[in-house]
A and B are shown apart, each in its own frame.
Chain A
Amino acid sequence: MGAIVLCFAGLNNKFPLLTESSGIYINSGFTKEAPSDRPLLYGIFVAHSSWGKSLWLTIFSQALMLSLVLFYYFQYFSNSRYHVVLFAAYIFFITFFTPVSVWVSSISPSIFLSIAVLSSGLMLFAKKLSRRDYLILAGVIVFSCGIDVSYMLIISSLILLISVIFLFTRKNKSLAKISSGKRLSEIIFFAVLGWLISTLLLFLTGGNASTVYELNVSMLQNLPGINADVYSAILDETETFKALFHRYNDDVREFYLSWQRFEFLNINIYFYSQVFVLLLCLCLFIYFRKHLTGTLSYCLFVYFSLACIILLLISITGGDITGFKNTLTWILSLPIYFYIFKAENIEIIKKYIKTIHIPDSKTSYINT
């Protein structure tokens, strides 16, 4: 259900959202030929997850992956017995107040950066991770980092930075909740493994390794530009439309009826509300900082903030700060959400609801 709700932007648009580069990924997945300016793995993911039939299955797979990782967060980090309810509420919150749903519903690999950061965070801070969940998360990290070399670099830089802090200041409160130092090396291993698999895949399909290690050949250069403008109407002459026409011919009529095609798509509101969500989270963090210090929420907030800062630095060095609307800031809301809805607060809310609740009665009200 979380996955379906996360697809809201696509469902509301009546077709998965397409960008001008969606066509490159769709084509590369079917031809197995690495495009000159993009990695190959996402194209293969699109071709296989759609079963060669419908792009709806692709965005549903993306949503399912994100939903699963978020569910693990609530399972491992929420101390309330209502963690499933809290998870549902959080999914609704991020769907309607941040652009997550837009990214999930797009034929674009941008959502995998969030998935990679979330998965690595979970692996780093969850102490009693079961073997099954550990393997699933490892798989998710390997896959997400294999999608794009820049994701691997961001995760590796983040973990290296954390490792340095962890080595020199073991009693640092911001890292107090790291499960073990071993996990740090494991995450780097999985991130690099993803990249190696991606390279191997490219060799097997007759490609050139340079397309995966050259930084300019990745999502990196496109990251700063990810905002509402990329979802303009896809015209018949574009590569995306041609790819859709050739690979998913049955879907073309459906695409013709989409909001995006008619230029009715109104997703700016999600990008605006994300700014307010971010400001609110920062304000709450500053307001509660004394209570937060040393808690898991604090550690997660620091970890996610570092990820955002690394991405921001990369965007600045990439030369484009004006269009910076990155795909990562929404995750800062997660630790604050955990703090607000901790078990003690839930009990207070429950008590409050009980006080104002009128006991059941079976009588009809019409004569009263």
Chain B
Amino acid sequence: MKFFINNKYNKHILAIVTGAVILCFMALYNTFPMTFNSDSATYLNTAFSHGVTAHRPILYGLFMIFVSLGYSLWLVIGAQALIVSLVVYYFFAYFTPAKYRVAWFICYITLISFFMGGSFNVSWLMPDVFTPVCIMCMGLLLFAPQMSLRDLLVLSLILVVSIAMHNSHFYICMFLAVLLLLGSLLKSIKEKFNNAGIKLKKIVLVILLLVISNLFLSLVHYTYGGGFKASRGGPIFLMGNLVEMGLIDTYLAENCDQKQYELCAYKDSIPNNFLWAENSPIYIGGWGSNKDEYTSIIKDIVTTPKYLKAVVFKSAILSIKQFFHFDTGEAEVPKEWVSNTIIHLYPNHGERFLNARQSTDRLGFNFVNHTQKLIWAACLLACIIIFMLGKMEIKYRLLIVFILLALFINAAICGSFSGAYPRYQSRVVWLLPLPLLLYAAGKLDIKKMFRLIIGNERKKE
């Protein structure tokens, strides 16, 4: 056993597997992988029926089907946990000395699994877990010094696949990459980038991978008869958010006299949950047939200064709101058709699914939500203090900026285009302690710290 652990590669593998098991905590506690609303079942159904829907990419459904081997959804959770564990481990491998690497890695995994939403996201049958994965892959490709070819290929592959899992990923990562590219064009920032090892060619490589991912998803959709198009339902999601902002009410009230939109017939009865309410006018004709009309309304709104001003103001509020709105635990009791889908596709696990804590309404998230808020606040404060003092090594400071930017861009894109919902921010909020822990692992002598505390205590005695 000792020989097994002492072997360099076995040690890495053992650490990653241990991390993955800890990350599955919420699924193990629930006694079954968790589902979200109707979405998890929709992903499975569309992939099984080989049909591309108007509002979601098909890739996550395919991922679930292939990885589960049509046998068990535990394999999906296992794969998600392994991917997250691997990428996090890469961070510790590139940023911390070997001596306490595994200990620090397990420490971080434990923190995000038991006290933040990390384990919940891994244990959920939703593509949300791939958002932090693509942000971390981007971070590694940009910041990791002297990356080996093997690691470069592995991370590039994970980045390409994880971006294709959800509509928002491409925009979040592209926005982030373009910001970095613009930064590298400014002399003062370029110098800082050079000191931190962020080279222009690395940024270009990331952008190239993003484009490849988009093409890859388009190709997958084309193969399944959904046309050569990656993003699905963009204008409809934006329309839903404009309804929630209250702008569509104003727009229709002021314009229905001159413009003959079909939506005008429903202007006094548009439900708040425009996208998913059964009585929503969107379901008279469906997503596809309403797309042109909604696109034209959106175009009119964003090209009219009066409405644009309101859109910008509301989007800013939504972005800030989304940044601060990150409660974990959107796992309500599954609806009947979700249960039916799971039982139909995985009949050997039907009973376990029906007896799970989520299905029997025995799941609570108050503790995790409270600790998550406190950890988030402590980390944000630490980041602010670091920037006020300005004494930390530039590489770590830029890594903090990168993570904070990613968190804010995620909030801005999700908040502005889809609405402020806790799951959008809860999926990435557990990345905030990562750069701080990497710094602590690489730059603080923890042993000496404890020795000093104990020493002081002894002196006092």
Contact = CB atoms under 8 A, between A and B. Distances in A.
B235 to A, nearest CB: 19
Interface stretch (B340-348, B351-359, B437-445): B437-445
A204 interface: no
Interface string A247-272: 00111111011000000001001000
A365 B377 contact: no
Interface string B409-427: 0000000000110000000
Contacts of A286: none
B97 A11 contact: no
B183 interface: no
B148 interface: yes
A365 B246 contact: no
Contacts of B244: 253-254, 257
Interface stretch (B128-136, B217-225, B297-305, B382-390): B382-390
A54 B374 CA distance: 29
A84 B384 CA distance: 10
B373 interface: yes
Given A84-B388, A257-B244, A250 B381 contact: no
A85 B374 CA distance: 18
A264 to B, nearest CB: 8
B96 A365 contact: yes
Interface string B374-401: 1001101100110011000100000000
A355 B456 CA distance: 14
Nearest to B270: A253
A259 to B, nearest CB: 8
A152 to B, nearest CB: 34
B381 A89 contact: yes
A364 interface: yes
Given A266-B366, A365-B95, A358 B246 contact: no
A217 to B, nearest CB: 35
A92 interface: yes
A368 interface: yes
B98 A56 contact: no
A256 B249 CA distance: 15
Interface stretch (B58-66, B105-113, B446-454): B446-454
Interface stretch (B39-47, B285-293, B318-326): B318-326
A85 B101 CA distance: 31
Given A357-B443, A366-B94, A368-B97, A88 B146 contact: no
Contacts of B323: 11
Interface in B231-273: 243-247, 249-250, 272
A360 interface: yes
Contact of B384 (A88, A251, A366): A88
A269 B374 CA distance: 12
A366 B146 contact: yes
A242 interface: no
A53 to B, nearest CB: 8
A367 B323 CA distance: 37
Nearest to B388: A85
A256 B272 contact: yes
A165 interface: no
B111 to A, nearest CB: 17
Contacts of A285: none
Contacts of B377: 92, 95-96
B145 interface: yes
B373 A96 contact: yes
B75 interface: no
Interface of A is mostly: helix
Interface in A230-259: 249-254, 256-257
Interface string A11-45: 11010000000000000000000000000000000
B448 A356 contact: yes
B246 A251 contact: yes
A368 B98 contact: yes
A366 B150 CA distance: 13
A211 B444 CA distance: 62
Contacts of B445: 356-358
Given A254-B244, A358-B442, A11 B324 contact: yes
A358 B443 contact: yes
A287 interface: no
Contacts of A269: 370
A352 interface: yes
B320 A257 contact: no
A4 interface: yes
A356 B98 contact: no
A1 interface: yes
Interface of B: 93-99, 101, 144-146, 148, 243-247, 249-250, 272, 310, 313, 317, 320-321, 323-325, 327, 366, 369-370, 373-374, 377-378, 380-381, 384-385, 388-389, 393, 419-420, 442-446, 448-449, 452
18 contacts: A1-B384, A4-B320, A12-B373, A54-B313, A82-B388, A85-B385, A85-B389, A88-B381, A89-B385, A92-B377, A92-B381, A250-B246, A356-B446, A364-B144, A365-B95, A365-B97, A366-B148, A368-B99
A-B pairs, top 5 by smallest CB distance, nearest first, are A11-B324, A250-B246, A364-B145, A368-B98, A92-B381
Given A56-B317, A88-B388, A89-B385, 15 more contacts: A4-B320, A11-B321, A11-B323, A11-B324, A82-B389, A89-B381, A96-B374, A249-B249, A250-B245, A250-B247, A253-B243, A266-B369, A355-B448, A356-B444, A365-B98
Interface of A: 1, 4, 8, 11-12, 14, 54, 56, 82, 84-85, 88-89, 92, 95-96, 249-254, 256-257, 266, 269, 352, 355-358, 360, 363-366, 368
